[in-house]
Amino acid sequence: MLRKFLVTGASGQIGQELIPYMLARYGADQVVVSDIKKVIYKLKDQPKFIRLDVAKSKHFRAVVEEEKPTHILHLAALLSARAEESVELALKVNVDGLHNALEIAKDLKTAVYVPSSIAAFGPDSPRNPTPEDCIAKPTTVYGVSKVYTELLGSYYHKKFGVDFRSLRYPGAISVTRPTGGTTDYAVEIFYELLVHGTYTSYLSLNTRLPMMYMDDLLRGTCEFIEADSNKLTRRVYNLAALSFTPAELTEEIKKHLPNAVTTVAPGGPDIRQGYADSWPMVLDDSLARKDWGWKHNFDMPKLVQTMLANVKETLLPKKAPVPKKASVPKVKKEKVAKN
């Protein structure tokens, strides 16, 4: 099957990593990216870009009608911490934008993939492990919007036959620095320990959260999108790989940076600690592994070794070009006259 994708919210942490991966997997002509601001990728040839506000339904629909994608990858969303600071904007993007995507998918017969999150769970949910189906009463507007995503998308699938799919992502770890998320520490810690040797955590050092290296997350997303619909027993799946604490991550990093130190800010953890304490510690993703063959490749040692190498490369200044060796003109030897 030849797939063509329209990706919304392409400037975020997931989008910055997913787009190059998709271009390599599906071809440059099969991926169109969109966002409210221009997106530049570390690629020789940039994909087609369309400026798009997903909350503006008419323009959103016009873009889909023009591009004729088989799939809408709806990544546009405000993350947990930023959403709490701008609740009205979060509802506009996360809720109105989702509704627009589903309506367009219904009318124009496209599939739609929308990531969910561990933030969809709440303090009343079982935390270790967290099953696919359980009480979900999130304490953040981001989490509320993700529960809405899961329920409304599943409704559109049942009511209108929309091929809606969603994965509950754990914290994503990559070289790209995220903004506004509660699990961001697992990226920032590598930069801080490599540059300064110390990292000040905004979470308690024993806070356990599900995490995943970005390469696994990208591959898992595409494998799920490509999976035979007849093999899926549900529309929303947990996706898991690792679970660790800031202290455990630091200990693994210390195998490479023996003097690395992680502490908590003098004033203690910030507001994100409350979010983390209401989220899963370990995700049960057994159905994803059973239904469509999901499995992760990066364990803790491999993740840390890879991140350290990639972050080092990112931090290194670009080497100045080596100047060409000055050419020395050849001097013709004069013939010495013989007496």
pLDDT digits (tens, 9 = 90+) for 95-152: 999 999 999 999 999 999 999 999 999 999 999 999 999 999 999 999 999 999 999 9
Checking if the pLDDT of 210 tops 80, the result is yes
| Those residues with Cβ within 8 angstroms of residue 168's Cβ, 6 or more apart along the chain or in another chain | 116, 117, 118, 120, 146, 236, 237, 238, 239, 283
| CATH level 3 topology of 5-315 | Rossmann fold (3.40.50)
Alpha carbon distance 175, 327 (integer Å): 42
Grade residue 87 by pLDDT with cuts at 50, 70 and 90: very high
> Residue ranges of the domains in the chain?
5-315
| Those residues with Cβ within 8 angstroms of residue 38's Cβ, 6 or more apart along the chain or in another chain | 49, 51
Q: What is the pLDDT of residue 330?
A: 41
Q: What is the pLDDT of residue 80?
A: 83
Place of tokens 């009343």: 124
- 183 secondary structure, DSSP code: T
Residue 266 preceded by cis peptide, ω within 30: no
**Is the Cβ–Cβ distance between 194 and 315 less than 8 Å?**
yes
Q: What is the pLDDT of residue 326?
A: 36
Q: Which residue among 26, 41, 113, 142 is the active-site one?
A: 142
% of the chain beyond a pLDDT of 70: 93
Q: Which of 43-47, 74-78, 210-214, 215-219 has the lowest mean pLDDT?
A: 43-47
Q: What is the pLDDT of residue 82?
A: 87
% of the chain beyond a pLDDT of 90: 85
Residue 188: burial class (beta carbons within 10 Å; 0-12, 13-18, 19+): middle
Arithmetic mean of pLDDT over the chain: 92
| Those residues with Cβ within 8 angstroms of residue 22's Cβ, 6 or more apart along the chain or in another chain | 5, 7, 30, 31, 222
Checking if the pLDDT of 318 tops 70, the result is no
Decide if 191 is catalytic: no
Q: Which of 9-13, 21-25, 292-296 has the lowest mean pLDDT?
A: 9-13
Q: Which phi and psi angles does 273 have, rounded to 5°?
A: -60, -40
Q: Which of 25-29, 229-233, 292-296, 325-329 has the lowest mean pLDDT?
A: 325-329
The two structure tokens encoding residue 149: 């995503």
Checking if the pLDDT of 94 tops 80, the result is yes
Q: What is the pLDDT of residue 100?
A: 98
Checking if the pLDDT of 329 tops 90, the result is no
Q: What is the pLDDT of residue 41?
A: 87
Q: What is the pLDDT of residue 44?
A: 84
| Residue in 114, 94, 142 with CA at minimum distance from that of residue 272 | 142
- Cα–chain-centroid distance for residue 52? 20
**Is the Cβ–Cβ distance between 185 and 156 less than 8 Å?**
no
Give the pTM. 0.90
The two structure tokens encoding residue 110: 């496209």
Q: What is the pLDDT of residue 79?
A: 86
| Residue in 204, 333, 330 with CA at minimum distance from that of residue 270 | 204
Checking if the pLDDT of 81 tops 50, the result is yes
Residue that wins the pLDDT comparison between 332 and 11 = 11
Alpha-carbon distances of 335 from 84, 328, 331, rounded to whole Å: 88, 21, 12
Q: Which of 221-235, 261-275, 325-339 has the lowest mean pLDDT?
A: 325-339
Q: What is the pLDDT of residue 322?
A: 43
